[in-house]
Amino acid sequence: MSQTESHARNFAAIILRVALVAALAASVWFVYRRLPQDERTLAGAAAEEASAPTVLHIRLRRAEVGFPVSAEKIPVQLYPINMTAARNEFDSERRPGQRFEEFATRLMGERQPLSAELDARGEAVVAVPPGKWWVHASVEGERELTWRLPVNVSGREKTIELTPENAYTRAKKF
């Protein structure tokens, strides 16, 4: 290989390296230009939306229960912890001077339980902060159905159906 060919080859390699660096810089600039103008505002809006309450629709179709249910309002409680597991943990050790309510409040931290009532149509609407919640409800009639459903709450709206299939307990009254 002659010295002229070697210089041409080195020159071509240098040109290709410069072109590669220029293409990389251009692609980064192209992506940068498409970014939102004020990232702090958008990041704050995203964080605010993530912490905004979710509208939780709770439904019980009384006809699907399989037995007559009174038309009275049915209370529904939402807890940020599994109350059954908390009760089991509380009962597993002696805690002199501490009531279960105090123990549960400490486990819940800043999140407080929420309450609602299913109306005559069997529907309730509750604003719930995002996170994991437990829905507790029960209906009585010829039989008794109890629900303890874990629910991951997120987004703007969510619907929970209370059905005999997802009931925690089903008991017959005597």
Least confident of 15-19, 39-43, 63-67, 149-153: 39-43
Looking at the structure, do residues 29 and 81 belong to the same domain, yes or no?
A: no
Looking at the predicted structure, is the pLDDT value of residue 15 above 90?
Answer: yes
Reported as a single tens digit per residue, the pLDDT across 105-155 is 888 888 899 999 988 888 899 999 998 999 998 887 777 888 899 999 988
Looking at the structure, do residues 88 and 143 belong to the same domain, yes or no?
A: yes
Q: What is the pTM of this model?
A: 0.64
- Confidence label for 18 from pLDDT (cuts 50, 70 and 90): very high
The H or E element containing residue 117 is strand 114-118
CA distance 27 to 45: 28
Looking at the structure, do residues 22 and 91 belong to the same domain, yes or no?
A: no
CA distance 74 to 172: 19
Looking at the structure, do residues 28 and 60 belong to the same domain, yes or no?
A: no
Describe the crossing of helices 100-108 and 83-92 by its angle, rounded to 10 degrees.
Answer: 120
DSSP annotation string for 120-164: TTSEEEEEE-SEEEEEEEEEEBSEEEEEEEEEEE-SSEEEEEE-G
Looking at the structure, do residues 28 and 61 belong to the same domain, yes or no?
A: no
Strands 143-153 and 114-118: unpaired
Range of 24's domain? 3-35
CA distance 128 to 79: 10
* Burial category of 44 from C-beta neighbours within 10 Å (exposed 0-12, middle 13-18, buried 19 and up): exposed
Looking at the predicted structure, is the pLDDT value of residue 165 above 80?
Answer: yes
